[in-house]
Structure 1
């Protein structure tokens, strides 16, 4: 199937939840002929008013474009929608922006290959309102040739369009890894706000201090990453033993003021195990060994 002008590649978007609508809208704004399909057809109305072409069936949607972008509830839904189409999928490039696991991404890549489909797995690091802006980061993994061919079209979804490698599971792995960082930061902030709230301090007053602290910790990441990659953990700032003493304070303070202490107790338990493994004199980066070990 011959590709047209990469700047105006016809694209089909399947799945018009909030994110799917945002994806289709970004393609339209970038000038791509855009076909849309959703099980509930009314969700396409606003996009059709903006110039999208509605497809009456999944088969019609697939036939309309060489580039298929799918964003639905889960990976099983992707296959349930497309599997009945059989040979109609042959020669298409499928970009799956549905959230899932690395195993599901690799299984879907195998499924796609058996049907003559070139498959790119993707992950969206943005809220719907951010799609098509400089802040949106979208990660892709799969065949480099397919990414390079359609990168100009995909870049319309966000300036942070990034190719990770040929392993289809990489985008999902990055996705969950980044989500883990997000929840860790948010949970730490919420726990701190709960602590200060017992003294009548508003969360708004705490937020600037938390933001400064997050920025400081961000500055440590590159150095810790080098230690992890090298497999050596010199304690240039503080040892794990030192961190443990401060963790004790956090646990006891939480318990004494009646704030849930499960999170700091969990962190302390992991740290206790690291010290039992002989890591007490290492930098905090050595905690990676605890996260690598199945419980």
Structure 2
């Protein structure tokens, strides 16, 4: 997959003179490439630009655990207060000591975690929401922890890309072995594989926007991306899948996206 030029945080913002920022205008200004490499290369600059453009300073990374997106020095340089969330105490123990921690299940009952209500301006996650069993409830909980005008964004793999459909169909114990065989770094200590549910992880605004509005968000945008590297070591299947992605991207077939940024504003 060819490399895509990375957008700098200075470039990734609204045009000068914009009076009322909207998510739609913000992402239009990014002019994202449809290839998923762009999504991986530009997620951090996108979070930085969201923070700057909408004046979001209190951030929480959902599922950040042992591998938060920002280092303490980067967060300090951006002038943001970053809290790391995870459901696992073990994962949170690996988080940098400089960050605050918030242990709760984003798709669970936040009654006991009511102290988080309205406490954050920007909630973001990477490759987390596919592991959530109830996506609708998770988005509703994100809306609850956000202050008015706050933004939530999730970078997710999407249905119905073939690797994720296979991940649903194949028993978890078998898929664990396959992933560890193909990717040597995917060990339980370094980069563990967690069960995936793909609840509400789509590349289609037609599917997602009504749900996001129903849980309290005022606007939502879905940025689709195509292509993935799961079949890089499997000839023939790789070529067939790349062809399918090329056709789907050209025709805007959202049911065959591989990844998406799902963003919503309270």
Q: Normalized against structure 2, the TM-score is what?
A: 0.39
More helix, by proportion = 1
More strand, by proportion = 2
Which protein is bigger by CA-based radius of gyration?
1
Q: Normalized against structure 1, the TM-score is what?
A: 0.36
Q: RCO higher in 1 or 2 (8 Å CA, sep ≥ 6)? A: 2
